[in-house]
Chain A
Amino acid sequence: MPADRARAIITFDTETIQLDALQRAVYAVADLMTVDITESGKKYVCTLFPRISTTDSDVLAHRLRSEVIDQTLRLRIAAETEPLRNLIFAIAFSQTGLNDAETPQP
């Protein structure tokens, strides 16, 4: 896409926003825009390219910012619940009867 169609540039603080959350957010808004991410000092610089050139750049910026917040929350929940999630899956798939070693010995 030509650079002159870039409608907005927004930045995120690298100390408060994980790159993973930012990349997930960019993926989740891919129907509206594509985003070029570069790192400059302590900032992620995001250049927004709308898929439809008439889309309001403020709308796109708000959409990306709120998606970044949601993705940050999702990462936080995932990190906090990962041990329990692994435990639940381990319990769910143990004692399936598929392994001979599981069979109780007389």
Chain B
Amino acid sequence: MTLRLPRDSAAVRPKSWQLLPMRFHRFDANNILLTNLVGEHVFLLEEQFLAILDGNCGDQKLLANLRAKHLIQLPAEQLPTELLAIKLRTRLSRLPNSTGLHIFVVTLRCEHTCRYCQVSRQSSAKSEYDMSEDTAIRALQLAFRSPSRTLKLEFQGGEPLLNFPLVQWIVARAKQINESHGKRLAFVIATNLALLDDEILDFCAREDIYLSTSIDGPEDLHNSNRRRPGQDSWQRTADGIRSVQNRLGRDRISALMTTTEASLCRPHDIIDTYADLGLRDVFLRPISPYGFAVRQRGGAGYDVQRWLEFYQAGLDHIIDLNRRGVPMVETYAAIIAKKMFTNDDPGYVDLTSPAGIGLGALVYNYDGDIYASDEGRMLAEMGDHTFRLGNVQSSSYADIMLSEQLLQPLEQSLTLSAPMCSTCAFEPYCGADPVFHHATMSDFVGQKTMSAFCQRNMGVFTAILRRAREDSFVRELFWRWGQR
């Protein structure tokens, strides 16, 4: 025999609940988005929201939903508070394990002259812009001081394959050093693949190395952005992607694109190019708004609104591909989906608070200078050394991690205390980007109402939530992306 409690026995009486920490955002003309400390969310009508605040809501279904999402609790309850604390701690669990990503700029030399790149050097003497073994070993020693149990060493340039012997040397030394540390090591070469050959493929296969490349879209668009002698950048990269997929496996190569003004009207072409190349992730990235990119021909001549239109058209095309059975992921949406629909945090350096600079990544430049992020290195190429933390020859690990150049921007830009961020409903999904705001507003925090970072991310959060809310297929798709 089943005993059933009368429905009213579990009813929450008016004025009997406590509000848990929450933030709200007027999502559209009718709906208010309510988020808790860790990003769990509901949509409410304004009258429902005010009734919750005033304690006179009688809608038991709504009250049950708000209790389930840890937005309200009953006075005698302790579990919601404890669960919220556990979820909060889970989201911040990466913090004690900094720094996981160490970027080695093994050379500034490059055979490409990409219109938006400010760091590469053409026809330069090898010794002038290549990292030395002495610099590399000192950088490795610093990297192994990081508490993180996982170290990802990424080789960048310029074109790192122009200094392939040093890449081989660093991989061998890192593995040797790790014999006494026992960390999980991963290696990535960020390369345009133009110089890929069998020797390099053999090495990557043997040493379990991942490759990351750049494809800006279809051949004409890519070659217009990424110039090299012979105008064959796209073909070389496409051939390289296929070689890696065939030799090492589909999951060992990923690609990034950079959105220039010429990309804005071609989101479908760009995504279809990725699909044709057998790539299952596309990262619809805006161009960094500083350095050579903001020159007249640098490709950054568009505003946030135009990029958001491009992004949403691209996202809708990717959703449509998935509807038709073609698996494709938009990487930025997947990062955000993890923050929106799970209790985990992917640790993406642009969307974390404290900011990802230094804590998420350290960059060792060819000359031994250490930067808090790759964008910090780019700023230095333009003469702004704000994010230079030291040099491998003279700085200890403590010098770097306790430097004012790192701590000041980290402390000032914390979203839990920054004006407008601290009360923003999107705060659990967003992050601090002191490099961007320093570069565009000469301030680590930035005035958020005029911040392109803020406008762009609020636009993306809104686009994702709206689509997930209106379409159960999309909701399920984003949820799966978040579980990756």
Tell me the A residues contacting B by CB distance below 8 Å.
24, 27-32, 70-71, 73-74, 76-78, 80-81, 84-85, 87-93, 96, 98
Contact = CB atoms under 8 A, between A and B. Distances in A.
Given A28-B420, A31-B449, A85 B21 contact: yes
A8 B449 CA distance: 21
Contacts, number: 67
A31 B19 contact: no
Contacts of B88: 88-89, 92
Nearest to A51: B450
B282 to A, nearest CB: 32
Contacts of B19: 77, 80-81, 84
A24 B251 CA distance: 48
A40 B137 CA distance: 67
Interface of B: 18-24, 26, 37, 53, 81-82, 84-86, 88-89, 92, 96, 419-420, 423, 447, 449-450
B304 to A, nearest CB: 12
Contacts of B420: 27-28
Given A81-B21, A91-B81, A73 B53 contact: yes
A84 B26 contact: no
Given A96-B96, A98-B96, A88 B423 contact: no
Given A27-B420, A31-B450, A91-B82, A84 B89 contact: no
Given A31-B449, A81-B22, A92 B86 contact: yes
Contact of A88 (B24, B84, B92, B419): B84
A39 to B, nearest CB: 22
A50 B20 CA distance: 37
Nearest to A74: B423
Given A80-B19, A92-B92, A27 B419 contact: yes
Main secondary structure of the interface of B (DSSP, over half): mixed
A11 B37 CA distance: 34
A80 B84 CA distance: 17
Contact of A81 (B20, B24, B26, B92): B20
A86 to B, nearest CB: 9
B53 A77 contact: yes
B449 A88 contact: no
A88 B21 contact: yes
B81 A29 contact: no
Contacts of B84: 88
A92 B450 contact: no
Nearest to A91: B85
A76 B24 CA distance: 12
A75 to B, nearest CB: 9
A71 to B, nearest CB: 8
B22 to A, nearest CB: 6
B450 A87 contact: no
Nearest to A30: B449
Nearest to B90: A92
Contacts of A31: 447, 449-450
B21 A28 contact: no
B53 A92 contact: no
Contacts of B21: 77, 81, 84-85, 88
A53 B39 CA distance: 39
A98 B96 CA distance: 9
A84 B450 contact: no
A76 B26 CA distance: 17
A33 to B, nearest CB: 10
A92 B18 contact: no
A92 B89 CA distance: 5
A27 B20 CA distance: 26
A14 B221 CA distance: 59
6 contacts: A27-B420, A71-B423, A84-B18, A84-B21, A87-B85, A96-B96
Given A85-B37, A98-B96, A28 B449 contact: yes
Given A81-B20, A88-B84, A93 B89 contact: yes
A24 B82 CA distance: 31
A29 to B, nearest CB: 7
Contacts of B96: 96, 98
**Which of A30, A31, A73, A88 has the most CB atoms of chain B within a 10 A radius of its CB?**
A88
A90 B18 CA distance: 19
B288 to A, nearest CB: 22
